[in-house]
Chain A
Amino acid sequence: MSLGSSNIQAKHLQHLRDKPIDGLVLKELVQAGLTWLRTNQALVNSLNVFPVPDGDTGTNMTLTMQSAWNEIAELGTRNVGEMAAAVAKGALMGARGNSGVILSQLWRGFSRGLHGAEILDGPTLVKGFVEARDTAYKGVVRPVEGTILTVSKDAAAAAESALAETQDPIEILERIVPAADASVQNTPELLPVLKQAGVVDSGGKGLFFIYEGMLRYFNGEPLDVPTMNVQPMSALNLQNAMESVEEGQDYEVVVDFFPDGALDLQSFYGKLEGMGTSIQVGEGEGMYRMHIHVPLDKRYEPIDYIMGLGTISKVAMENLLAQMDDIQKSKSEKIELQVVEPGQIAVVVVSPGKGLSRIFASLGAGAIVEGGQTMNPSTQEILAAFENLPTDKVIILPNNRNIILAANQAKEVTVKQVAVVPSKTVPQGLAAMLAHNPDGEVDAVAGKMSKSLASVQTGEITIATRTVEIDGVNVEMGQVIALLDGKLVLAAASVEEAVVGFLEKAEAGKHELITFYYGEDLNRHEAFRIVDVAREKYSAQEIEMQDGGQPHYPFLISVE
């Protein structure tokens, strides 16, 4: 920028500041607030975690402000009170969502404070903020703190205390904006749901952007480039940045660092923008965290650059493309259930793990209910699983002794023809599934399936949750235990020891097939290693291993 044009700009800014705030300037301010809010709308939406479904806070507030702007777009009055009244009317007419209604109330109160005023001077501005707060708080019986209401309250308090030192409305606004910012950052301390989600309140943030947009207007700062603020570390929402990857932005780089001296944000952002996108900066107790997405060839550039600014304490780099592949893959791993034809028998299976669900589905299960030892599904959940199936013939496999009762109750409640095959374990359920025939009569098929339950012995390997003596076996809490068909048979120091001991108790050597289903807590390699130990010992038997995905049980074992 040449010296000449910067002079002209400085002069223009001075003029803006010296000019009294009349109706037309207020109109500009409303537009600035709207524009700045709209520019940052996505950011506000991303904060939307408040458990009340309020749509998208940023969108709702922007539409409310837009409606206010539409009301005054053609209005030429210089009277600031009249202009404010029109803004309030427009905001009221277009108020959307909870935050929009509160915003319209704030404008209503603000316009009340400006009633009869020609010019917006300092005291009038303060009156407007105070009235805005009072009006907003009147609209609710139980105000929730840590929301947009709190931010309006803190802004009004800052305005009131500023009045003791200055009468200039712009200087007052200059104190309101940082106070509103601080108030927004403090919202997680007041509202636990925000703290849990690690964000600040979205409505409060939206209100802050409106205030800040007005101040930026006076400072001649651009309103169309999203904000480059530093958030508190807890407000950094890095998960959101992971959801989509732009073309060429292959790596996510996160750098924690302590800058030498104050960080010049303007140039910091400027430099980073030359390297990548999705820039976020957080700060906590003097440490800064920078997050950016960069293309492959620039992956070290942010680190080199920040190295020159201070001391780096930690660098994390992740390959986004590979992660996206994983996400895609897990989506495509959706379990495909057997399509149930009208009149056929549908089998409803209670399954404790993803891998087991997949195996049941491949054997012809028509519906899966998640559940098992520590998470018994309710009668309602079992009912819901089959009520919408296009058949009235249903067989339920509870696969756990504690769920058989709920399954029987589902049978009583429904009008459909239901049989419960009392499978007490997953291996029993799988054995029954193999005997299933979708085109028979319910009772006959269920009878056949029930008979097959006895053909299999079930082993359950798990960790003891307390010290106890059952069935003559002493168990210390934390030991690995093995159950044979529901009976405790031994306690051991390791999963491997428990598996070996169980196979002996089950007399695996006299059977043909041993199948291992390893659980979600067991590392795949460890599972392979233990199964290999079993393979060596039982070379005459056929041994299979499947990913069961069940919690709490490192292994479910079937011996048949």
Chain B
Amino acid sequence: MGKENTTFGSIHISPAAVATIAYRASLESYGVVGLAPRNLAEGLAHSLTREPARGVAVRFDGETIDIDIHVIIEYGTRITSVANSVANTVRFHVERALGLKVNTVSVHVAGLRVSNLD
């Protein structure tokens, strides 16, 4: 996807690399307890995944990157704030690591994890 030409050759960045960065960044975001496989997002939100490419979808249209992330959030946190943080954090880390502009980061809340009932 991401391609850059230099005097020595060209650099290709695969969507999987972008997904890994996004995956790590979302797991460092406060309130995110896991990522959900997006194809099974409907019913199997509980089955957390450690495989980066599964909770993250990356699209590249030649210039900008669009990222979809399916997250599971800790029950009892303010979901909009957590989702905003995820979007900001992912955008920041991807842009810093790749130097490519991220167009949109869509955060899909696939489920909540209840570790304590109040």
Residues of chain A whose beta carbon lies under 8 Å from any beta carbon of chain B: 51-54, 85, 88, 92-98, 100-102, 104-105, 108, 111-112, 135, 138-142, 144, 376, 378-380, 402, 405-406, 409
Contact = CB atoms under 8 A, between A and B. Distances in A.
Given A135-B116, A138-B116, A140-B30, A52 B92 contact: yes
B30 A98 contact: yes
A96 B84 CA distance: 9
Interface in B6-61: 6-7, 27-34
Contacts of B6: 378
Interface in B71-118: 74, 76-78, 81-82, 84-85, 88-89, 92, 96, 115-116, 118
Contact of A101 (B4, B7, B85, B118): B85
A101 B81 contact: yes
A138 B116 CA distance: 10
A425 B74 CA distance: 59
A92 B78 contact: yes
B76 A51 contact: no
Given A51-B92, A93-B78, A98-B85, A139 B30 contact: yes
Nearest to B77: A101
Given A96-B81, A406-B7, A409-B5, A140 B28 contact: yes
B117 to A, nearest CB: 10
Nearest to A94: B78
Given A51-B92, A53-B88, A135-B116, A98 B7 contact: no
Contacts, number: 88
Given A52-B92, A53-B88, A112-B118, A379 B5 contact: yes
30 contacts: A51-B96, A52-B88, A52-B92, A54-B85, A85-B118, A95-B77, A95-B78, A96-B81, A97-B85, A98-B29, A98-B30, A98-B81, A101-B78, A101-B81, A101-B82, A105-B74, A108-B76, A111-B118, A135-B76, A139-B31, A140-B27, A140-B29, A140-B32, A142-B28, A144-B28, A378-B4, A378-B5, A379-B5, A402-B7, A409-B5
B27 to A, nearest CB: 5
A138 B74 contact: yes
Nearest to B28: A142
A135 B118 CA distance: 11
A144 B27 CA distance: 11
A108 B31 contact: no
B77 A105 contact: yes
B30 A95 contact: no
Contact of B31 (A101, A111, A378): A101
Contacts of A105: 74, 76-77
Given A105-B76, A111-B118, A141-B33, 20 more contacts: A51-B92, A52-B85, A53-B89, A54-B85, A93-B78, A95-B78, A98-B81, A100-B78, A104-B77, A112-B116, A138-B74, A139-B31, A139-B77, A140-B30, A140-B31, A141-B27, A376-B7, A402-B7, A405-B7, A406-B7
A334 B118 CA distance: 58
Contacts of B30: 98, 101-102, 139-140
B4 A53 contact: no
- Pick the 9 closest A-B CB pairs, nearest first: A95-B78, A139-B74, A141-B27, A98-B85, A140-B30, A95-B81, A52-B89, A53-B88, A101-B81
A106 to B, nearest CB: 11
Contacts of B4: 378-380
Nearest to A100: B81
Max chain B Cβ within 10 angstroms of own Cβ: one of A93, A138, A409: A138
A386 to B, nearest CB: 15
Contact of A104 (B28, B29, B32, B78): B78
A406 B77 CA distance: 49
